[in-house]
Amino acid sequence: MTALEKATGDAVFKFEPFVLHVLCQELQDAQMLHSVAVDSGFRNSGITVGRGGKITMAVRSTHCLEVPLSHKGRLMVSEEYIEFLVHVANQKMEENI
């Protein structure tokens, strides 16, 4: 809160979701991992194949959170709301684990 009160620009509360990149030897391996990831709730997962044939499977969570807190140095939310955001972000971190 002290840092936010001293802020002169825009401040954003941001929680980044879990991401795991796996290099796969075969496309079938990536497809199997993708199925497991999606079935486990990691709906933003995907497979990419590079120009050289490199197959990468990305396991991605949907548990992101991004909320503006201040604009041009003016705090736009209450301390109670920031405490709520921290609680929500901590819950999302537990879900990531």
The sheet carrying 55-60 orders its strands as 19-24, 55-60, 46-49
Phi-psi region of 77 (alpha: psi -120 to 50; beta: other; left: phi over 0): beta
Note down pLDDT in tens along the chain; length 97 residues.
Answer: 888 888 889 999 999 888 999 999 999 999 999 999 999 888 889 999 999 999 999 999 888 899 999 999 899 999 999 999 999 999 988 887 7
Cα distances from 31 to residues 43, 54, 61, in angstroms, run 14, 14, 17
